[in-house]
Amino acid sequence: MDAYPIEVEFPDIRAHAPGNTGIAYVHTFESGAPGPHVMINALTHGNEVCGAIVVDELLRAPLRPTRGTLTLSFANVDAYARFDAAAPDKARFVDQDFNRVWTAAKLDDTATRSSELDRARAMRPVIDTVDLLLDLHSMHEKSLPLIVAGPLAKGAELAVQLGAPATVIRDEGHPEGRRMRDYAGFGDEASGKNALLVECGQHWEANAVVVARDCTARFLLLAGIVDESDLPAGWLRPLPGEMRIVSVTEPVVAKSTDFRFAGPYTGLEVFDKAGAVIGWNEGEPVTTPYDDCMLVMPSLRQLRPGVTVVRLGRIERRIDSSERQPR
């Protein structure tokens, strides 16, 4: 697999290391006026730079909330520090995926240690106080951006209110472990807390930064903690004409490193008929289980036993611009 070109500069974030919360690289700002606690998080994975660019820009602006509380954070800074342009995929994590450790049982089991678990435990006291989380990510392959809203109706509803990117994915997560966007109240329909994860584009493409700025600006406005005049100029982009909500029905998990796709898929491909062969898992064909089946984030760049190599999705709903309130 060829590496994608690196089109953006990786910011030097070391100036943000002290934070102001007692937690390195985590900054919280209180307005003194009523409002939710909103968190914009970057670097859940160390090679996903678009979020780091946005959080760095907001800290340097500086952006402060006019209502409620704003937390700006860099998560897996150890992995980010290891980034090597000659082997860019290796900086995703140090010991284990930071976005697969978010259950109370894993976080409470302090006998088990890893770079990512230690960092998650350090950040947990702040995350426990957050009402609305936006987790900025990017993708292995060059695909159109998408919102990962989780399995609950409240996540999909928040994604539609956000308005962009155009594709909303409803899913249960990964067999390897729970994501931060599903942690605690974020993953409880009865809780007022909510979270979105946005996959802004391919890791190092310039347009991923454009998408990250736009969805961050929209999230802050939707939360009501800033006004449009507070935001950096040019961050908001036009809304897409249509949104679509896609429900993931099942993951395809590699049994071993013997997995290959039937084509050069990068994501959001739709197969008209059930039974289409999309790949082979240890020689066994992997087929689409229903008509109009969408491939969600296919990639073999992190291939190993137990890794989800693609998720299969059904288009549940289409929402045109007349059903939304454009900003």
Domains 14-242 and 247-316 belong to one CATH topology: no
Percent of the chain with pLDDT over 90: 93
Kindly state the DSSP code that residue 241 receives in the 8-state scheme.
S
pLDDT digit string (tens) for 223-260? Answer: 999 999 999 999 999 999 999 999 999 999 999 999 99
Q: How far is CA 24 from CA 14, 28, 45, in A?
A: 10, 11, 17
Measured CA to CA, the distance from residue 228 to residue 182 in angstroms comes to 29
Q: What ranges do the domains of the chain cover?
A: 14-242, 247-316
**Cα 125 to the chain's mean position, in Å?**
21
Cβ-in-10-Å burial (0-12, 13-18, 19+) of 298 comes to: buried
Query: Do you know the residue count of the chain?
Result: 327
Measured CA to CA, the distance from residue 179 to residue 45 in angstroms comes to 12
**Helix, strand or coil for residue 214?**
helix
Q: How far apart are the first and last CA of the chain?
A: 40
Tell me the average pLDDT across 191-205. Answer: 98
pLDDT digit string (tens) for 38-92? Answer: 999 999 999 999 999 999 999 999 999 999 999 999 999 999 999 999 999 899 9
Q: Could you give phi then psi for residue 147, rounded to 5 degrees?
A: -105, 130
pLDDT digit string (tens) for 132-188? Answer: 999 999 999 999 999 999 999 999 999 999 999 999 999 998 878 999 999 999 999
The topology under which CATH files domain 247-316 is OB fold (Dihydrolipoamide Acetyltransferase, E2P) (2.40.50)
* CA-derived radius of gyration, the chain: 19
Q: Note the pLDDT of residue 178.
A: 96
Residue 326 clears pLDDT 60, i.e. is over it: no
Q: Could you give phi then psi for residue 224, rounded to 5 degrees?
A: 80, 15
Residue whose tokens read 């070109």: 5
- CATH superfamily of this structure's domain 14-242: Zn peptidases (3.40.630.10)
Strand bridging mode 26-30 / 69-74: antiparallel
pLDDT digit string (tens) for 106-121? Answer: 999 999 999 999 999 9
Q: Note the pLDDT of residue 152.
A: 97
